[in-house]
Amino acid sequence: MEERELIEAVEKAEDSEHLSEAEERVGPLELFFDLVFVFAITQVTAYIAKTPDWETLARGMMILAVVWWAWVAYSWLTNTLDTERDDVRIVMFISMAAMFVVSLSIPHAFNDDALLFAVPYFVVRASHILLYGYAANDVGVEQAVKRLAPSVAVGCALLVTAGFLDGVPQGLLWLAAIAVDYAGPVIGGMEGWTLHPGHFAERHALIVIIAFGESIVATGLGTEEITLTAAVVAAAVAGIVIAAALWWAYFDVVAIVAERHLREKEGVAQVRMARDSYSYIHLLLIAGIVLLALGAKKTILDVDDPLKAVPAVALCGGAGLYLLGHIFFRLRNIGTLNRQRLVVAAIMFALIPLALKVDALITVVLVALILALLIAYEAIHFRDARHRVRAAAHAG
């Protein structure tokens, strides 16, 4: 981010910020609820890692998109409803149980457990719609939920129908279900929805941390059946460097500026920004982290051999996808282009052919080195802007 643009973006948001310091923050029930999604993300990574071919990768990404949209639905719900209410808690516990079954069925979601995935998933989504409409106590929100309900119903019905099929027809129905469900907030419009911006931004920041945690766990579990040689340890350390660099890329400045811009907006403009920047674009970040976890896991298992095609795409392409998510995030929130991250994203994708030829250790070290250099460049080149942004955040 250019220094002048960064400073102006934060100062403009600060000047228009009128929110109470006592604004609601993420509560323990929401963090507890997110645990089932940690397991779901872990299951997606394990599912792709077991048979890392293109078909499995495509299916894994579709599963992730469906799981993510369920989490998004509840991120909006808990942003609006009081999670201290007993009825809200009970319905969320029911949804947790259903989502846990969904997570358990992920390894066979496209064959034996297709219906075991789709039916509990319908319970998760229906519980969200019914609770939102019943407990919102806001006419605008109730109308917004009614407009959203048809896309949820059609999307879930398509998933259930896909459970009776296999092969290409099943995959096409999954894609149709995702398209319909994701289109719901656009077609139905955002009028009537309400938002607590600080809570909403924090909730998404926490799910990013959870995804990073899952990636570290998945990478670590990959060492269970191998000898800890110097090369394996070096690959593991490189994996931590990658995670740390990507964590820095999000939490050092981006999360702060994004939240302040979300606070700056009001009414429909605010909820549209929340929908686009967080509900939609954050999927790219989560998918990038999941792919990186897959690539790092496969790297550790075969440090002395070149990566196969899917793990190579996962490792290098996952880093590139994560950075593209940041680029789109900034474009939507601020309207400017992060050139250095665009360049590095392009480099990540360009590394894929090399990853197919050199040892996996060399690839993971190169990815870690390039990302570390990106963070070092931004930290040094934009140090004055960073200082002002972070000082303003701590002061607030």
Cβ contact 148:185 at 8 Å: yes
Q: Cα 67 vs. chain centroid, distance in angstroms? A: 10
Token pair in block for residue 207:
């799910």
> Can you give the pTM of this predicted structure?
0.93
Amino acid identity of 171?
A: G
- What pLDDT, on the 0 to 100 scale, is given for residue 21? 41
Q: Domain residues of the chain, as ranges?
A: 1-15+196-396, 25-194
CA distances to 35, 65, 163, 297, 329 from 113, in Å: 22, 18, 8, 26, 36
Amino acid identity of 27?
A: G
CA distances to 3, 19, 316, 389 from 394, in Å: 19, 16, 35, 9
- What pLDDT, on the 0 to 100 scale, is given for residue 18? 43
- Helix locations, 16-166, DSSP H: 28-50, 54-80, 86-105, 114-135, 139-162
Amino acid identity of 149?
A: A
Token pair in block for residue 147:
């407009």
- What pLDDT, on the 0 to 100 scale, is given for residue 17? 44
Q: What confidence tens digit (pLDDT) does each residue in 96-150 have?
A: 999 999 999 999 999 999 999 999 999 999 999 999 988 888 889 999 999 999 9
The closest alpha carbon to 346, from 359, 368, 327, 369, belongs to 327
Question: Cα(311)–Cα(307) distance, rounded to whole angstroms?
Answer: 6
Question: Cα(281)–Cα(324) distance, rounded to whole angstroms?
Answer: 9
Local structure of residue 152 (DSSP, 8 states)? H
SS3 of 218-266: HHHHCCCCCCCCHHHHHHHHHHHHHHHHHHHHHHCCHHHHHHHHHHHCC
- What pLDDT, on the 0 to 100 scale, is given for residue 1? 44
Q: In the chain, which stretches have pLDDT less than 70?
A: 1-24, 393-396
Q: What confidence tens digit (pLDDT) does each residue in 351-374 have?
A: 999 999 999 999 999 999 999 999
Total residues found in the chain within this entry: 396
- What pLDDT, on the 0 to 100 scale, is given for residue 4? 55
Token pair in block for residue 222:
């990959």
Cβ contact 1:176 at 8 Å: no
